[in-house]
């Protein structure tokens, strides 16, 4: 029975952590054994419910001495649990996990989750390079494959593209009861019948909230409400800047900054158009996927992984990043859709997500990568969609 060890810095919150839990569950359901090593966090309770052992080690540390000790600690975990394969999901733990796996003579897998900062020093590039040293390297998008090729010269024969998976049972329009919509609409004081545009994401400049405010001003429709949903995480100056920008552009009464939302499926259902306006390319773009899973029309920037996830002209629109004129033009198109067109977009978007971007697809493909290394299975076909 294969035993798969996943290693990540912490189990607090985020896409990496959620993916770790999802894969651990799939391992258990396949009749294998899963083990997870991290520095701990509230999501360890999810592992407890699955009956998956969690070993708490300081693998979140970037201190070279601690990382060196972690090699010995992880080697002990590998021996005690009879680990067959190690899967590292972040750079600091990957250095220790790579050395421990090599000592044990077992396969080593990484998931390359983002572009990672490079900085002016070559040492940072070498620090990042550990994520390209797996016997298999899982890239969460073809955008990331291109980045690895251009930045690190990776041998693409070891790369497998596995997009992040959406929980299509939670992000399902039929699962959202009317009282959830009413509760949110009342909390956010949305007027009946007002068109709603939403940009989910923490308040940070590269998420493009200012671009959307500029586009809203050009839209010239005072009935529209614009929701910026996400915590400022202490960036009070940027929040004040956005509020001032909205007032100066004459849309102060239309823009609502909402600190957080504990029911994103309902939030998507309240929305006519979901916008991703990131000025920097995103490695995946969970908002683009979640919104389509809920049947919403999406407008996203034409860079990063968005062109892989969004079917432009069918489930939404791709626009040049940082271009408020183009964004305003796409918003006009989206808001003018009649009921039949909106229904067709919703059906196409939901089917697109359930077919190619579900949590089940992600976990099934990840376990297949393990089978390549453990049982000599034929290479996983990595091309899911035509190149954008």
The Cα angle at residue 272 between residues 18 and 322, in degrees rounded to 5: 75
Beta bridge partners of 341: none
Burial status of residue 218 (CB atoms within 10 A of its CB: 0-12, 13-18, 19 or more)? middle
pLDDT at 387: 46
pLDDT at 382: 56
The Cα angle at residue 300 between residues 309 and 187, in degrees rounded to 5: 105
The CATH number given to 3-165+358-375 is: 3.40.50.2000
The answer to whether 3-165+358-375 and 173-356 have equal CATH topology is: yes
pLDDT at 231: 86
Residues 6+ apart with CB under 8 A from 99: 71
pLDDT at 120: 67
DSSP character for 190? P
pLDDT in tens, the chain (388 residues): 999 999 999 999 888 999 999 999 999 999 999 999 999 999 999 999 999 999 999 999 999 999 999 999 999 999 999 999 999 999 999 999 999 999 999 999 999 998 887 766 678 889 999 999 999 999 999 999 999 999 999 998 999 999 999 999 999 999 999 999 999 999 999 998 899 999 999 899 999 999 999 999 999 999 999 999 998 888 899 999 999 999 999 999 999 999 889 999 999 999 999 999 999 999 998 999 999 999 999 999 999 999 999 999 999 999 999 999 999 999 999 999 999 999 999 999 999 999 999 999 999 999 999 999 999 999 886 544 344 4
Please provide residue 227's backbone torsions phi and psi, each rounded to the nearest 5 degrees. Answer: -105, 120
The CATH number given to 173-356 is: 3.40.50.2000
pLDDT at 94: 98
- Tell me the C-alpha distance between 143 and 358, whole Å: 19
DSSP character for 259? S
Concatenated DSSP letters for 20-80?
A: HHHHHHHHHHTT-EEEEEES--TTHHHHHHHT--EEE--TT---HHHHHHHHHHHHHHHHH
Indicate the domain borders of the chain: 3-165+358-375, 173-356
User: Do 54 and 44 touch, CB atoms closer than 8 A?
Assistant: yes
């Amino acid at each position: 029975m294969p035993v798969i060890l996943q290693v990540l810095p912490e189990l607090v919150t985020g896409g990496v952590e959620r993916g770790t839990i999802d894969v651990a569950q799939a391992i258990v359901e396949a009749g294998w054994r899963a083990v997870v090593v991290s520095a701990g966090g509230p999501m360890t309770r999810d592992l407890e419910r699955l009956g998956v052992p969690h070993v708490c080690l300081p693998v979140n540390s970037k201190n070279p001495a601690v990382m060196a000790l972690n090699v010995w600690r992880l080697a002990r975990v590998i021996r005690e649990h009879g680990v067959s394969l190690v899967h590292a999901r972040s750079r600091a733990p990957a250095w220790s996990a790579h050395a421990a796996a090599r000592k044990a003579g077992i396969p080593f897998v990484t998931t390359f989750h983002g572009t990672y900062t490079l900085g002016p020093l070559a040492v940072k590039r070498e620090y990042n390079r550990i994520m390209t040293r797996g016997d298999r390297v899982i890239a969460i998008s073809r955008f990331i494959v291109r980045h690895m090729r251009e930045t690190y010269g990776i041998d693409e024969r070891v790369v497998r593209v596995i997009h992040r998976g959406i929980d299509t049972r939670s992000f399902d329009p039929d699962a959202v009861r009317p009282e959830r919509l009413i509760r949110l609409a009342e909390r956010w004081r949305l007027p009946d019948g007002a068109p709603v545009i939403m940009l989910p994401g923490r308040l940070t400049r590269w998420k493009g909230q200012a671009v959307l405010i500029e586009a809203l001003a050009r839209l010239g429709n005072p009935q529209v409400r614009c929701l910026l949903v996400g915590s400022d995480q202490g960036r009070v100056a940027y929040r004040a800047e956005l509020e001032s920008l909205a007032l100066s552009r004459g849309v102060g009464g239309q823009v609502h900054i909402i600190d957080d939302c504990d029911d994103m499926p309902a939030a998507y259902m309240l929305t006519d158009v979901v916008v991703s306006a990131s000025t920097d390319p995103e490695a995946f773009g969970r908002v683009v996927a979640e919104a389509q899973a809920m049947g919403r029309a999406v407008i996203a920037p034409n860079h990063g992984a968005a062109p892989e996830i969004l079917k432009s002209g069918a489930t939404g629109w791709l626009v040049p990043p940082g271009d408020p004129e183009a964004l305003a033009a796409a918003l006009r198109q989206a808001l003018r859709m009649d009921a039949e067109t909106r229904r067709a977009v919703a059906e196409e978007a939901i089917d697109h997500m359930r077919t190619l971007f579900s949590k089940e697809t992600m976990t099934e493909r990840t376990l297949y990568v393990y089978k390549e290394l453990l049982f000599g299975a034929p290479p996983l076909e990595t091309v899911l969609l035509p190149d954008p």
